[in-house]
Structure 1
Amino acid sequence: MKLSGLFVGIDVSETNIESFDIEIEGIKTDSRMTGEGDIFVCLNGTKRNGHGYIKEAIGNRAAVIVIEDKSYSGDFPYIRVCSTRKALAFLWNNLCCDPCKDMKLIGITGTNGKSSVAAMIGRILESAGKKSAVIGTLNASLTTPDPWELYPRLKELKDKGYEYVVMEASSHALELEKLSPLKYEIGIFTNLTRDHLDFHKSMYAYAKAKGKLFESSRISLYNIDDIYSSTVVQNINKYSYSYSLYREDADYIAKRIKRSFEKQEFDLLSTGEIFHIESPLIGEYNVSNALAAASCCRLLGIDGISIKKALKSFCGIKGRMERVDIKSGEFYAFIDYAHTPDALMNTLLALKEIKPEGSRLVCVFGCGGDRDKGKRAQMGEIASRIADFSIITSDNPRTEEPYSIIKDIVIGIKNDARYLVIADRRQAIRYAVHSAEKGDLLVFLGKGHETYEIIGNTKSEFNESSIIQEADKERIEIKGNEYYSC
């Protein structure tokens, strides 16, 4: 593609290139991978500055360099822009021929619920006979893919005739301008709770990053029950709709909510219509997720029958309140991705509400290393207040010392709470399963859909569901008098 075509929509601050009638072979951000005829885009990262690799890119026969640094000067062809990250997104979008212009894009942002709401919307659209795809956390290393993955993927979907793309929009991707070229039919805000403050530094900055989704959304749909909703969606377009479990002034309301161990149901009320919705998912937050998905699809013009049918058959996604098959039948086990204070609280409260009378709620959890330290004590306090017994363990400690992370968690635990520290997550799981009493409800938090563990700089396989089932098999083989109790 010509350089002129690649730079459509990109504001150029300065350049020494007289003619943009240059054929470009590719777009690179790694100087080592740059080849003849490529554009080399200098990204300022948290650890490395791409401007320091300009000489290497030129040596590898790059055609043009794209820079931010105002101090750079030289004879080699360059284009200076205000943000190379934003330029990178537009370059890839243009290279892929603006793939979303003929598809309807639904973007979902929020601390919790993005994956579930996206999957629900995808299921509803499928039920209504619409060709749709979901892009998000599951089966991906990042919630929102990088531009060199995202835009070719969108082009592939366009070429295959997809009508809708439902996409999770992380605060990182929004702040780093990876999604700048995209225009959304509907943008959805689920909630905002403490997370990623190692990156955003404050809740206000976190909320403002989330709000960038709605600057590019034709229709905005937001959870009015969340205290940050006004910050996230302030000054948005006139096509704005709210949903709520509690407020009568919302555009879409969930009323007459009923819950049991097997399912929950509610009535969706909006102007001039009522839908009765049933869902096999448990937890109040899943009512909110289902309400968001149903409201979105009504705004898209999807019929109520398709919505009801899809949500009634939707059994959830991997790692989100996922029930583990326990052969011994002596206890219940769930896996959930909850790794923030709010998600931890919602998950534990949902399970406590449905646990069999006389049984215990036992939670196994940790906190990620090299991440926001401020939430650790909060999570310790929440677990000790709601669960009957907690096992504090590791959850991707990365380069931090596991016991240092655990110490931060334990600081928040109530003095009279019952808990145990087992830093090795595999051993913590085995202990929880082996010591479970009949009817206990065990929940393993933090990993969710992840099938790996990161210790130091090493990433190794770790399938939590399989480990739980292996421990249950061991339990069956152990004599009853050898069980040990929490």
Structure 2
Amino acid sequence: MSSATHLPTAAAPQPGATRVEELARAVGGTYVGPSSPGSSPQAGQAAYEGALVYGITHDSRCVTPGALFCCVVGQHHDGHRFAPQALAAGATAVLVSRRLDLDVPQIVVSDVRAALGPASAAVWGQPWRQCRVVGVTGTSGKTTVAHAVADLARACGTPCEVMGTLDGARTTPEAPQLCRRLRRAVDAGAEMVVLEVSSHALALGRLNGARFAAGVFTNLSHEHLDFHRTMEDYFAAKARLFDGRSAVAVLNVADAWGRRLSKMIAGTTDLVATWQPSDIEQVTVSPVGISGRWRGHTVRSRLLGRINAANLAAAAATASALGFDDDAIAAAMPAIAPVRGRLWPVSGTDDDITVLVDFAHKPDALAAALRSARELCAPAGRLWAVFGAGGDRDQSKRAPMGAAAHRHADMVVLTSDNPRSEDPARIAADIAEGVRRRPGARGGLHVELDRSAAIAFAVDHARAGDVVVVAGKGHETSQTIGNRTVPFDDAAAAGGRLQQRRRTRR
């Protein structure tokens, strides 16, 4: 039998510490003492009364003294096998689906992964109850909407943080990391946290036990079908944000899936607030931002492109549903900052072309980005699209991405975008099928599999007044080729080539 090396106890819990027996109650599990041959589940339990947990993880490599180690059974690994390693690193207790022959307090539940969220919230003091958490889900727009809501809240005097795509390996972290970050945000004074919520996180139960002041739905289109298999499954995953865990639902009813969702939750959500992109009226776009009318107010924003009118409408509707004053929301619109990698301008006032970097990596998002960029072209200017598609991912979106680029751009440059184990040339050929199947091409199709060279080609061959959209990676700063991940930044590559163009023009 292994022996536990760290069992901190105290007459009363210290700040940030939780008794094991309290955790068992929080997750609806059974608290049992150490296991030994022939012992009853309660044998030895008294010796461990008052054992304290100071953290939580399901990764044995991340165990710190006093942690609760959660033995998640995954697709490839069974966490129960790593419990001895976790104890050697200082775990106080384990969360298991079967009692282990280990000298340590154990919380037995039917499904460890399902209990991971409630356990994490309990360890970190239920941070969901101590600040208003806003969840933003949908295929496109999550990042921009999340940051826009946060900027509006801050401008209206509410300390707010954002968690999502731009600051982590996952759009939505696993429950232990998420609850720890929420706790730190609350302790730092945040009164609101806006969280990007992915369909993967909802499907895999990372948000079990979570509670949201508001859930926001932006739209749904073809994406992640390598994971969800069908659009129905994809929609069902997104809909879980509105299964009662969100007090307010803020839904885009211009989207067919949003209308369906509105009908689904009408009797189960306290407040359903609807919005649509046309809520921002009389939209005017320019190279310095967009303006329009919202609920009778003139509004201006530094965000570029007509596509961002929809994101502004979503953010404003969310702030209003949360109780912010409409006058204050309208006045705060200029405080919404452009988001890196979302129609992000790389070019400046010294350039004779416009170069934008965007995260669009699915057909509808690419089409929307190109439509918005088209309005920034000079009267005789051409629109360039530089993009690829990820390898080892949903192949069915490749030809539709080619068709979207063909429909909206004058010049299409196909390149690589995280080809992973696939042949980049094969991926480019799959995308090109979408171009060739549509008659009446606007202009040229060029294939350059070296992404840096592809960007250089577009920047070098663009004419004054042209707009170049480099799509697919956005804020990302690496490229995965085979089993190697190498540094690569679209903005840096485009910016460097623009410098050379300026020198040539002089």
Of 379, 387, 395, the residue aligned with 2:417 is: 395
- 8 Å contact from structure 2 (residues 421, 481) kept in 1: yes
1:471 to 2:497 alignment: yes
Between the aligned partners of 1:317 and 1:307, the Cα distance in structure 2 is 19
Residues 292/48 of structure 1: CA separation in 2 closer, same or farther (3 Å cut): same
Which residue matches 2:3?
none
Q: 1:228 aligns to what SS in structure 2?
A: helix
CA separation of 1:84 and 1:296: change in aligned 2, threshold 3 A: same
Question: What is aligned with 2:252?
Answer: 223
Whether the 8 Å contact between 2:124 and 2:179 is mirrored in structure 1 is: yes
C-alpha separation in 2, matches of 1:470 and 1:245: 35
Aligned partner of 1:11 in structure 2 is 28
Residue 367 of structure 2: aligned partner: 345
- Out of 294, 307, 310, the residue aligned to residue 329 of structure 2 is 307
**Deviation sequence 1:438-475 (CA, Å, 0-9, x none):** 21111100111112212223222212222112212333
Pairing 1:295–2:317 present: yes
13 and 204 in structure 1: CA distance in 2 versus 1, 3 angstrom threshold: farther
Task: Decide which of 65, 68, 92 is 1:39's aligned counterpart.
Answer: 68
Partner in structure 1 of residue 173 of structure 2? 145
Indicate the residue corresponding to 1:283 in structure 2: 305
* Amino acid aligned to 2:468: L
Structure 1 length normalisation: TM-score?
0.89
What amino acid is aligned across from residue 178 of structure 1 in structure 2? R
Residues 1:30 and 2:20 are matched in the alignment: no
Alignment partner, residue 242 of structure 1: 274
- Rounded to whole Å, the distance in 1 between the matches of 2:413 and 2:312 is 31
Match for residue 484 of structure 1? none
2:96 corresponds to 1:67: yes
Alpha-carbon offset, residue 382 of structure 1: 0.8
Q: Deviations over 1:330-367 (max 9, x none)?
A: 21111111111111010011111331111110110011
- Provide the residue aligned with 1:459 in structure 2: 485
Tell me the amino acid that sits aligned with residue 164 of structure 1.
M
1:422 to 431, 438, 448: 448
Of 363-372 and 471-480, the range deviating more from structure 2: 471-480
- Kindly indicate whether the alpha-carbon contact (under 8 Å) linking 1:385 and 1:414 is maintained by their aligned counterparts in 2: no
Instruction: State the alpha-carbon separation in 2 of the partners of residues 393 and 82 from structure 1.
Output: 47
The answer to whether 1:436 aligns with 2:453 is no
Shift of 1:429: 0.9
Task: Kindly indicate whether the alpha-carbon contact (under 8 Å) linking 1:326 and 1:469 is maintained by their aligned counterparts in 2.
Answer: no
> Quick one: distance in 2 between partners of 1:161 and 1:479?
51
Q: Is the alpha carbon distance of 1:260 and 1:47 closer, same or farther for their aligned partners in structure 2, counting shifts above 3 Å?
A: same
Pair 1:200 & 2:264 matched: no
Counterpart pick for 1:179 among 204, 207, 213: 207
Give me the whole-angstrom Cα distance separating, in 2, the residues matched to 1:222 and 1:479. 49
Residue aligning to 2:476 = 450
AA at the equivalent of 2:113: R
Distance 2:22 2:31 in 1: 18
Superposed displacement of residue 17, structure 1? 4.2
Contact 1:327 1:473 in 2 (8 A): no
Per-residue CA deviation, residues 43-72 of structure 1 (Å, 9 max, x unaligned), is 23343332444565567675544334xxx5
1 CA distance for matches of 2:376 and 2:221?
Answer: 24
Bigger Cα displacement from structure 2, 338-347 vs 77-86: 77-86
Change in CA separation of 1:88 and 1:477 when aligned onto 2, cut-off 3 Å: same
Rounded Cα–Cα distance in structure 2 between residues aligned with 1:74 and 1:93: 24
Question: What residue ranges of structure 2 are gaps of 5+ in the alignment?
Answer: 1-17, 33-39
Residues of 2 paired with 1:60 and 1:315: CA distance?
A: 44
Report the alpha carbon displacement of residue 306 of structure 1 after superposing the two structures with TM. Answer: 2.7
User: In structure 1, what residue type is equivalent to 2:392?
Assistant: D
Q: Cα RMSD over matched residues?
A: 2.5
| Corresponding residue SS for 2:479 | strand
Task: Quickly say closer, same or farther: Cα 1:28–1:154, change in 2 above 3 A.
Answer: closer
- 1:63-107 per-residue CA deviation (whole Å, 9 max, x = no partner) reads 544334xxx565446544243223122222111111221211111
Matched letter for residue 237 of structure 1: T
Instruction: Give how far 1:131 is off.
Output: 1.2
**Cα 1:408/1:87, change in 2 over 3 Å:** same
| Distance (whole Å) between structure 1 residues aligned to residue 209 and residue 248 of structure 2 | 17
- Counterpart residue identity of residue 136, structure 1: G
**Retained in 1: the 8 A contact 2:24–2:30?**
no
User: Aligned equivalents of 1:220 and 1:9: distance in 2?
Assistant: 27
Q: Distance in 2 between matches of 1:61 and 1:462?
A: 39
CA distance 1:399–1:301, change in 2 (3 Å) = same
Residue by residue over 1:125-152, the C-alpha shift from the partner in whole angstroms, topping out at 9 and shown as x without a partner, is 1111111111111132211122232111
Change (3 A) 1:469 1:74: closer
1:154 positional shift: 1.0
| Preserved contact between residue 253 and residue 275 of structure 2 (Cα < 8 Å) | yes
The 8 Å contact of residues 35 and 61 in structure 1, kept in 2 or not, is answered as: yes
Q: Aligned pairs, how many?
A: 467
Map 1:28-177 → 2, pairs under 5 A: 28-34=57-63, 38-54=67-83, 56-57=85-86, 64-68=93-97, 75-76=101-102, 78-177=106-205
Percent of aligned positions that are identical: 33
Q: Provide the C-alpha distance between the structure 1 equivalents of 2:289 and 2:66, rounded to a whole number of angstroms.
A: 58
- Contact kept, 8 Å, 2:155 with 2:335, in 1: the verdict is no
Q: Deviations over 1:341-396 (max 9, x none)?
A: 11101001111133111111011001112211111111011111211011100111
Distance in 2, Cα, partners of 1:201 & 1:83: 24
CA–CA distance in 1 between the matches of 2:51 and 2:447?
60
Alpha-carbon distance in 2 for matches of 1:167, 1:37 = 28
Asked whether the 8 Å contact 2:120–2:176 carries over to 1, the reply is yes
Q: Which whole-Å CA distance do the structure 1 matches of 2:254 and 2:30 have between them?
A: 43
Distance 1:373 1:158 in 2: 41
Amino acid at match of 2:193: V
Hey, what's the Cα distance between the residues in 1 that align with 2:21 and 2:406?
60
Residue aligning to 1:410? 432
Q: Distance in 2 between matches of 1:56 and 1:31?
A: 7
The question of whether the paired residues in 2 share the 8 Å contact of 1:328 and 1:472 is answered with: no
- CA distance, structure 2, for counterparts of residue 110 and residue 324 of structure 1: 27
Deviation string 1:291-325 (CA, Å, 9 cap, x unpaired) is: 11111111222223432232124341111101112
AA aligned opposite 1:424: D
Amino acid at match of 2:377: K
**TM alignment of 1:349-360, pairs within 5 A:** 349-360=371-382
For the 8 Å contact 1:110–1:189, the answer to whether it is kept is: yes
